[in-house]
Amino acid sequence: MSTAVRTVPAPAPAPPPAPAPTPAPLPVRLPSLRDAGPNWYAAVMGTAIVATAGAALPVPGAGPALTAVWAVSAVLLALVLTARAAHWLHHRDRARAHLLDPAVAPFYGCPPMALLAVGTATLTTGEAVIGERAAVVTAFTLFAAGTLTGLIAAVAVPWLLVVRHRPAPGTASPVWLLPVVAPMVAASSGALLADRLPSGGRWREAMLLGCGALFGITVLATLLILPLVFARLVHHGPLPPALTPSLFLVLGPLGQSTTAAANAAAADTPYSDLLAPLAVLYGVPVTGFALLWLALAGAMTVRAVRLGMPFTLGWWAFTFPVGTCVTGAAGLAHHTGLSAFTVLAALLYALLVTGWAVAGYRTLRGLFSGALLAGPRR
């Protein structure tokens, strides 16, 4: 009896493993603009004043560097204008909420000052690159836009403060000065532009008188607001560390008014002989008070740093207000011929550049990390 041998078929080879699915590329997440407020214009102002203030100092060979800074400020202005337009287009509810927020609404004084600051820097440092005609046209265009929006802010923000915000007693803040300083920045820029108007007729005289009216708006409004700010400090103590840099905003109307007076006196108008001594008589005591406030604000800032002062866009207050004191001191040096004012302007300019470098570096770092565009935690 034979035994049949059963053959077992070899197992079929296992199919090759399926290739792992290629992961879908992660979407690029752009930073949200929902919480980007008007305070971003402070970076434009602080950059433009570095160019303008540097041009007022007798530093040979500084032209190319100052022109580069002006170019950066012009690019920043274009970027912030675009971002703010997108903010109003896509986040209109948030933009309206900013207007109704007493802590944010005063920063609507920054957009007109940014326009005016870049326009002035274009006239003082950008002319070497784009030519005289283009620089003058650009400066006049930005002057017109900045003056108009500055006057609107100077009326609308105080109106909101009184009618809608109704702040509690003892809550006065230096940021209340922002909307009312814009007309003074326009006065300073307009005085520079007066010499670019036709010498025939009364165009220059009309420009200068208009700048005088703008000058008065800021000076008298500052006399109303500054006592409230100082009373708040005396009766309620120092500002919180995060808000302490705003104390430097008080330097804005002081330095800018000195600059405006000096620019008006230097313009070729029938009032030049009268304005030159008035610019000195006004500018010297105001500069003295500005130095007093600078010392007070500096001491408060040192205290806040020791308490752990965090970085915010409020650090840009270390730039533009200080820069106006530089141009004011340089104007006094021009009208008095005293080298002491030139030395003062140089020292203040060193402080300005230091503040600009620190604020710029911290802003870039916060921007790339997303911390500056993040909304408030809830």
Domains of the chain: 38-369 (1.50.10.150)
**Nearest by Cα to 181 from 114, 96, 264:** 114
328: pLDDT strictly greater than 90: yes
Q: Which two tokens stand for residue 144?
A: 């017109």
213 to 170, 225, 260, 284: CA distances (angstroms): 31, 19, 12, 21
SS3 81: helix
pLDDT at 22: 56
In this structure, of 24-33, 97-106, 211-220, 315-324, the range with the lowest mean pLDDT score is 24-33
Give the tens place of pLDDT for each residue, 62-108: 889 999 999 999 999 999 999 999 888 888 888 888 888 888 999 99
d(CA 16, CA 58): 78
pLDDT (average), residues 306-322: 95
115 near 54, Cβ under 8 Å? no
**At which residue do the structure tokens 């009184």 appear?**
162
Q: Within the chain, where are the H helices?
A: 41-55, 63-90, 92-99, 110-121, 127-130, 132-160, 178-194, 203-236, 251-266, 272-306, 320-336, 339-369
How buried is 344 (Cβ within 10 angstroms: 0-12 exposed, 13-18 middle, 19+ buried)? Answer: buried
d(CA 324, CA 251): 8
**What letter represents residue 109's amino acid?**
G
Q: What does the buried/exposed string (b/e) look like for 245-254 if buried means 16 or more CB atoms within 10 Å of the residue's CB?
A: bbbbbbbbbb
198: pLDDT strictly greater than 90: no
20: pLDDT strictly greater than 70: no
Q: Which two tokens stand for residue 364?
A: 């870039």
**Inter-residue long-range contacts of 156-159, CB under 8 Å, 24+ positions, other chains counted:** 156/108, 157/105, 157/106, 157/108, 157/109, 158/221
Cα torsion 133, 138, 144, 148 to 10°: value is 180
pLDDT (average), residues 198-207: 83
d(CA 111, CA 322): 18
d(CA 332, CA 282): 10
Give the tens place of pLDDT for each residue, 166-180: 888 888 999 999 999
Q: Which two tokens stand for residue 376?
A: 């408030």
Q: Which of 87-91, 160-164, 372-376 has the highest mean pLDDT?
A: 160-164
Q: What percentage of the chain has pLDDT greater than the value 90?
A: 70
